[in-house]
Amino acid sequence: MVMGLCSLVGTQRISLKKVFAGPGEAPGQNIDYEIFVGVRLPRVILAALVGAALACSGVILQAILRNPLADPYILGISSGAGLGVIAAVLSGVTWRFWGGSPIAIFAFAGALVTVWLVWCIGRFAGKSQVTSLLLAGVVVNAFFSAVIMFLISIAKSEQLRSTVLWLMGSITEKDSSVLWFSTGCILTGMVGLFSISHKLNVLTFGEEEAKGLGVDTAKTKVVAFGFAAFITAIAVSLSGLIGFVGLIVPHGVRLVFGPDHRQLLPVSAIIGGAFLVIADTLARIIISPAQLPVGVITAIAGGPFFLVLLAKYTRKVSWLK
């Protein structure tokens, strides 16, 4: 519903009646229809897809790291994927692998490496440290950002503006083959995650408890991290670094639907999609006819939200001690 409404909003006014009238006989006859189908709709689908992927990824990271403040952006996983993307773009590789562009594959590699880093740091940091994992995320983030900046500064100037805009997180129109391929990837990832969602519930109690309830923790963690890195990477390769979706959405959904992952995961996907569609629509109209990167909107909404949560949870931990 949100998708439908938002695809009607935009710099160019279009009327629903004309859209339903169907394509005209000659190209250019029904401009409203062409804008709707050719520009708005793919963009809304893309936003929904990216939002769903990021929200799911946030749910998974929060469950497995047992840290309610985890989010692919905050932990640096998005920048890891972003680094992969920039490396792929700037090195100019063009080979294809199973129909996947090298960009997506580089992004996946970058995301996997970061997830592995975060996992190791998380184990090192111990159980009750909500903040040390976040600090680790800050460090990882800073490091990858530095490498990204280095790559950008040695890049040719014509690639510069678009790369920088992409980095800020922007949803721009892609050709349909990329869109379909990414849809397939992200849906596969989400179904994979949903299949282990009952085990995720148990994993939030920690390794010992989960094993006591018959969950093969090592295998489940690898599967969950793998899929989470995968959908994050696809989302990043589509739309750059969009922050805080994976933080805000799961929290909101948890407040209403409770923490059972068999509900939390699919509902977060839907709400995450709707959330980013709305954010992207705002990004399109606020300084219309120019467009804001959508990452700006989510960060403005998410930053304060994050601070509130941080205050809440660090206090909770100090009570426990």
Asked if 244 and 303 count as a contact pair (C-beta separation under 8 A), the reply is: yes
260 binds other proteins, rule: CB under 8 A:
yes
67 binds other proteins, rule: CB under 8 A:
yes
206 binds other proteins, rule: CB under 8 A:
yes
208 binds other proteins, rule: CB under 8 A:
yes
What kind and span of H or E run contains 120?
helix 102-125
What is the four-CA torsion angle of 6, 36, 10, 294, rounded to 10 degrees?
Answer: 60
Ramachandran quadrant class, 290 (left: phi over 0; alpha: psi -120 to 50; beta: rest): beta
* CB neighbours of residue 39 within 10 Å: 15
Give, as ranges, the residues between 175 and 204 that touch other proteins (CB under 8 A): 194-199, 201-202, 204
Phi and psi, residue 82, nearest 5°: -60, -40
Residue 209 and residue 43: Cα distance in Å, rounded? Answer: 44
Residue 244 and residue 73: Cα distance in Å, rounded? Answer: 7
CB of 60 to other proteins, least distance (A): 13
Residue 246 and residue 56: Cα distance in Å, rounded? Answer: 7
315 binds other proteins, rule: CB under 8 A:
no
214 binds other proteins, rule: CB under 8 A:
yes
CB of 266 to other proteins, least distance (A): 11
Stretch that binds other proteins, among 18-26, 66-74, 166-174, 267-275 (CB under 8 A): 66-74
Joined together, the tokens standing for residue 164 give: 């920088």
119 binds other proteins, rule: CB under 8 A:
no
Q: 143 or 194, CB closer to other proteins?
A: 194
Q: 146 or 213, CB closer to other proteins?
A: 213
Stretch that binds other proteins, among 161-169, 177-185, 253-261, 275-283 (CB under 8 A): 253-261
Q: 85 or 202, CB closer to other proteins?
A: 202
253 binds other proteins, rule: CB under 8 A:
no
120 binds other proteins, rule: CB under 8 A:
no
Residues 158, 156, 88, 284, CA torsion sign: negative
302 binds other proteins, rule: CB under 8 A:
no
Buried b (16+ CB within 10 A) or exposed e, 199-232: bbbbbbeeeeebeeeebebeebbebbbbbbbbbb
262 binds other proteins, rule: CB under 8 A:
yes
CB of 317 to other proteins, least distance (A): 10
- Of 176, 177, 279, 188, which Cα lies nearest the Cα of 233? 188
Among 23, 184, 258, 304, binds other proteins (CB under 8 A): 258
Binding residues for other proteins (CB under 8 A): 66-68, 194-199, 201-202, 204-206, 208-209, 211-217, 254, 258-260, 262, 320
